[in-house]
């Protein structure tokens, strides 16, 4: 299987790709709420959640995708007490889109972030259509 790795300009926090396309899916590495200068945005969970999603969206856009192509998100929280505030920011960012999601607590997020988000999206075909992940008989 040929996997395609891609990166946005600039340095990553570690030895990983921003994303990998494999089997018709785009797997994004986790994103935290870093601003354009590489500093965590201020204001806590809400602003960091919005910015982490925005940063992931930039990776999607580099591949001709948007949040509408996302099929799964994983949200890592430094504290589960922040779940409601994260959820409000997540709803604001995604609007009526409802990809599958897992949210869990994780100690020690990068750079002291309070939230990290990773995503899986459907890749686009050369015609610009979302790639099919399952056949017509697939029910899940």
pTM of the entire predicted model? 0.86
How many C-beta neighbours within 10 Å does residue 92 have? Answer: 12
pLDDT tier at 139, thresholds 50, 70, 90: very low
What's residue 94's pLDDT? 95
Residue 52 has pLDDT above 60, yes or no: yes
pLDDT tier at 27, thresholds 50, 70, 90: very high
Task: Give burial (CB, 10 Å; 0-12/13-18/19+) of 88.
Answer: middle
Return the closest-CA partner of residue 121 out of 49, 18, 34.
18
Residue 130 has pLDDT above 80, yes or no: no
pLDDT (tens digit, 9 = 90+) per residue, 87-122? 999 999 999 999 999 999 998 999 999 999 999 999
How many C-beta neighbours within 10 Å does residue 20 have? Answer: 15
Domain contains 5: no
Q: SS3 of 135, please?
A: coil
Residue 128 has pLDDT above 70, yes or no: no
For residues 15-23, give the mean pLDDT: 88
Domain contains 55: yes
Where on the phi/psi map is residue 128: left (φ > 0), alpha (ψ -120 to 50), or beta?
A: left
| Interatomic CA distance for residues 98 and 114, integer angstroms | 22
User: Do the beta carbons of residue 62 and residue 124 sit within 8 Å?
Assistant: no
- CATH code, domain with 47: 3.30.1330.40
What's residue 98's pLDDT? 94
| Interatomic CA distance for residues 40 and 80, integer angstroms | 19
Residue 86 has pLDDT above 70, yes or no: yes
For 54-130, where are the E strands, in sequence order?
Answer: 70-77, 100-105, 115-122
Average predicted confidence (pLDDT) for the chain: 87
Residue 136 has pLDDT above 70, yes or no: no
Domain contains 138: no
User: Do the beta carbons of residue 71 and residue 122 sit within 8 Å?
Assistant: yes
What residue numbers bound the domain in which 56 lies?
22-122
Between residues 43 and 135, the one the model is more confident about: 43
Per DSSP, 34 falls in state: B
Count of domains observed in the chain: 1
């Amino acid at each position: 299987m040929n996997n395609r790795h891609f990166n946005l300009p600039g340095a990553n926090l570690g030895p990983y790709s921003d994303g990998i396309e494999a089997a018709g899916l785009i797997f994004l590495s986790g994103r935290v709420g870093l601003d354009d200068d590489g500093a965590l945005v201020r204001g806590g969970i809400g602003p960091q959640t919005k910015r982490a999603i925005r940063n992931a969206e930039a990776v999607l856009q580099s591949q001709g995708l948007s949040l509408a192509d996302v099929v799964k998100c994983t949200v890592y929280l430094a504290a589960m007490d922040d779940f409601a505030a994260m959820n409000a920011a997540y709803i604001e960012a995604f609007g009526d889109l409802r990809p599958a999601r897992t949210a869990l607590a994780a100690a020690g997020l990068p750079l002291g972030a309070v939230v990290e988000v990773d995503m899986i999206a459907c890749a686009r075909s050369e015609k610009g259509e979302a790639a099919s992940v399952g056949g017509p008989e697939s029910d899940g």
